Structure 1
Amino acid sequence: MEYKSGDVADLQGFFADLVRCETRLYNALNDRLRERHGIVTSQFEFLRFLREHPGARVADLAAEFAIGAGATSKSADRLEKQGWIVRRTNPADRRSSLLALTDDGSRLLDAAEATFTAGLSELVEGALDRSATAAAARALRRLRSALERDQVGTPTG
C-alpha cells in the first residue's frame, strides 16, 4: 500500500501493514517451532522471558505480553504440565508463585531458539536490508515504549 503523507490512509495503511506483517511472521515461526520442537510461538516467548527473568510471576508475564492474567496463568499451567517450568511459592507474597525453567525447558528453549532465530533471519533479511531493519526496529521500539509508558492496550483482567 502506498502511504499518503498527512492522510488518514497513511496511518490506517501503517496499521494494516504492521498487523499483517506480525501475523504472517508469527504464523510462519509458529509452524516451524511446532514442526521441529512441538511448541508454538507463544510458548517459546514465555520460556524465553522466564530464562531472561528467573523468578518472574504470572503477573510479570501478563504485563510483558499485554495479555490477561487468567490466560497467562493457563499458559503457565500448560508449560508446567509439560515439565518445562516449575512454580515455587513466592516468599514475599504467598498468594503468588515464582516461575522458573526446568532443565528440560532450558534444553527445549535452546533448541527452539536456533530454529526461531534462523527462521526470523530468513524471513526478515529476505525482504529488508540491515539499515531498513534497524530503522524499523528503532521506530517500533519507540512506539512500544510510548504505548507501555502510557499503559495503552493493557488488559484489565
Structure 2
Amino acid sequence: MASSSSNELDGFFDDLVRCETRIYNAIGETLRAEHGIVASQFEFLRYVRDHPGCRVADVATNFAAGIGATSKGCDRLVARGWIRRTPNPADGRSSLLRLTAKGERLVAEAEATFSRRLNELVTPAVAPDRLTPAREALAQLRGALERDRIGLPVG
C-alpha cells in the first residue's frame, strides 16, 4: 500500500473527526427535540434491537467504549423502561439485553427521524456517486481497526 503524505492524513483525520462530531451533534439535537433521547441512547437501543440477547460487553466492544460506562448507559435505558436485563444462563456475572415493547416503539420512531435528518445533512453536500466510495473506504478502515482491536478502552 502506498504511503500517504502527512498533510493528506492530517487533513483526512481533521475532516473525519469534525464531520462526525457535527453530524452526531445535529442528529442528537433532533432526536432530543423529537423523541427525548440523545444520540448515544438511540445507538444503544438500535444495537440491542439488532442484537437481541447481547451482553453489555458486546455493546461496549461495538462502540469502543468502557464496560463501566456502557453498563451505566444500559442502566439508564432500563430505568426508562426501554430495555430489560435478564440473567445470562451461560455466565452468572453478566446479563442479556433485550428491548421492551416501549423501547421497540421508541427506536422505530427515532429511526425514521434519524434517517430523515442524516439525509438532510449528507445528501446536499455529497454527490450520490461519491458516497459509496467514501463509505467503502471508511468501512475498510473500520474493519482493519476492529480486526486488530485498535482504539478499545483500557480497563
TM-score normalised over the length of structure 2: 0.97
For each residue in 1:43-95, what CA deviation from the matched residue of structure 2 results, as whole angstroms up to 9, or x when unmatched? 00000000110000000000000000000000000000000000000011111
Instruction: Quote the offset at 1:6 in angstroms.
Output: 4.0
What is aligned with 2:82? 84
Runs of 4+ deviating beyond 6 Å: none
Matched, 1:105 2:103: yes
Q: How does 1:108-119 map to 2 (within 5 A)?
A: 108-119=106-117
Cα root mean square deviation, aligned: 1.0
Q: How does 1:58-73 map to 2 (within 5 A)?
A: 58-73=56-71
What is aligned with 1:27? 25
From 128, 131, 140, the counterpart of 2:129: 131
Instruction: Quote the offset at 1:130 in angstroms.
Output: 1.2
For each residue in 1:86-142, what CA deviation from the matched residue of structure 2 results, as whole angstroms up to 9, or x when unmatched? 000001111100000000000000100000000001111010111111111000000
From 55, 58, 62, the counterpart of 1:57: 55
Q: Supply the distance in 1 between the matched residues of 2:4 and 2:71 (Cα, whole angstroms).
A: 42
Aligned residue for 1:76, secondary structure, equals helix
Matched, 1:122 2:135: no
Note the residue ranges of structure 1 that are not aligned, 5 or more in a row. none
Q: Supply the distance in 2 between the matched residues of 1:71 and 1:87 (Cα, whole angstroms).
A: 16
Aligned residue for 1:42, secondary structure, equals helix
What is aligned with 2:146? 148
Note the residue ranges of structure 2 that are not aligned, 5 or more in a row. none
For each residue in 1:9-62, what CA deviation from the matched residue of structure 2 results, as whole angstroms up to 9, or x when unmatched? 110010000000000000000000000000011000000000110000000000
Amino acid at match of 1:60: D
Aligned residue for 2:54, secondary structure, equals coil
Q: Supply the distance in 1 between the matched residues of 2:85 and 2:121 (Cα, whole angstroms).
A: 35
TM-score normalised over the length of structure 1: 0.95
Amino acid at match of 1:94: G
